[in-house]
Amino acid sequence: MMITVSEVIKNGTLKNFLIVCGVSGLGNEVTKTGIIDYEFAIEGFFENNQPFGYGDFLVASLMFTNGDESILLKMVEKLIELRVSGLAVKNIFFKTIPRSVVDLCNEKAFPIVLFDNSLYFEEIITEIDNIIQVSDWVKQIETKIGLLYLKDLTRREVEVISKEMRISQRKHGVAFFMIPKISLRHLNMQHIINSYRNHPYHDEKISFFKYQQAFVVIVASDSDIKPKFEKSFLDMLHLIGIQVSDYCVGISSIHDPVGELDVCIKEAIWSQKVASIMAVERKKFSDIGTWSILLCNQQFKHITQYMEHYLKSIKNNSSDSSKELIKTAIAYIKCEGNTKLTADSLFIHENTV
């Protein structure tokens, strides 16, 4: 989930300018940004200081070069040695990047973007810092959601995490777990989240997060009227231009969004799994029946061992009859034990099931 040079460029104002060399380095990681100013103008500066390093995406006017190609080449060689990720150059002293520098950057996978006077350094730096900060925040939240989903925490531990996630302190809450039908890039998901967080009409009772390849929405309310939660959820998606039909969604029952946030999240994730298995767009936890027993116990070792032992004789048999048996079993499960629906889906007689 690292931020790359490519993502920094295409998600900011630099996207309107040419990447003149080093395109094979667009996958270089970016961890911070900065400005090259006086560092290369002071002899021996790098022997005593380390202003730049791995993951830096730098911005420069190259004033200290005074248009001297040899000085520029030495600077780029040093940046590559320091494992800097890439460089954005304002075209004041160099209207084009010299061939010697282009060749070096192409060889060493060091991207350079050439931009003009329409952009300010501060604008580029602020954009990149915001992208990195959002990424760090998203990673922290993902870790907390992982704890809530995968661990058995005390109520006190859940309350602490809920407050750290800034969940609205209301009496009731419902979680929605959304997986896109077509995968989204990590940074695109971050921008979707950020667009809601920064929207002037965002609802403070709604929390919107990313977890792996999914979105998590927590809707809190002082009312426990079920339809209101789904309306708030759909209104929130509409606000940022998301079509719910593009997602497979699991919906939890109503719980305390602070002390029982883990229950909300688990139920929403389990419900989404069932929706995916059943090939339906949405599933509520209250409607998944015995699936709730299977899913809440699936991570236990003895359950996994039992399932593997139970299916071993069929899985290890490569005959056509065994393959048909597995196919029938899967269809039977998807049809929730309805033999007629199973037979219809497989185009066989009900007695065969």
**Span of 90-94, 151-155, 318-322 with lowest mean pLDDT:** 318-322
Residue with tokens 């282009």: 102
pLDDT over threshold 90, residue 132: no
Overall average pLDDT of the 297-317 stretch: 70
CATH ID of 5-119, from 3.40.1390.20, 3.40.1410.10, 3.90.110.10, 2.60.40.10: 3.40.1390.20
For 47-105, what is each residue's pLDDT tens digit? 666 778 899 999 988 888 888 899 899 989 999 998 999 999 998 888 899 999 999 99
Specify whether the CB–CB gap between 39 and 139 falls below 8 A: no
Residue tagged 């899913």 (tokens):
295
Average pLDDT, stretch 120-143? 84
Mean pLDDT of 278-302: 79
pLDDT given at position 107: 95
Q: Closest Cα partner for 334 from 272, 280, 297, 281?
A: 280
| Matching residue, tokens 């029982």 | 260
**Looking at the chain, which runs of residues are DSSP E strands?**
18-21, 32-36, 56-60, 86-90, 112-115, 172-180, 206-211, 214-221, 247-251, 282-284
Q: How confident is the model at residue 1 (pLDDT cuts 50, 70, 90)?
A: low
Residue 322 has pLDDT above 70, yes or no: no
Looking at the chain, the whole-number percentage of residues with pLDDT higher than 70 is 88
User: What number is the average pLDDT over the span 276-289?
Assistant: 88
The pLDDT of residue 320 is 65
Whether residue 270 has pLDDT greater than 90: yes
For the residues 22-51, what does the mean pLDDT come to? 78
Residue 202 is predicted with a pLDDT of: 85
Assign residue 83 a region (left: φ > 0; alpha: ψ between -120 and 50; beta: otherwise).
left
pLDDT of 188 strictly over 70: yes
Taking the C-alpha atoms of residue 142 and residue 130, their distance in angstroms, rounded to an integer, is: 18
Total length of the chain: 353
Distances (CA, A) of 285 to 130, 230, 246, 303: 37, 14, 20, 21
From CA 13, how far away is CA 84, in angstroms rounded?
A: 21
Taking residues 138-161, what's their average pLDDT? 89
Could you tell me the residue ranges of all domains in the chain?
5-119, 131-294, 301-352
Look at the pTM and tell me if it is higher than 0.75. Answer: no
Hey, do 5-119 and 131-294 end up sharing a CATH topology, with the first three levels equal?
no
What architecture (CATH level 2) is domain 131-294? 2-Layer Sandwich (3.30)
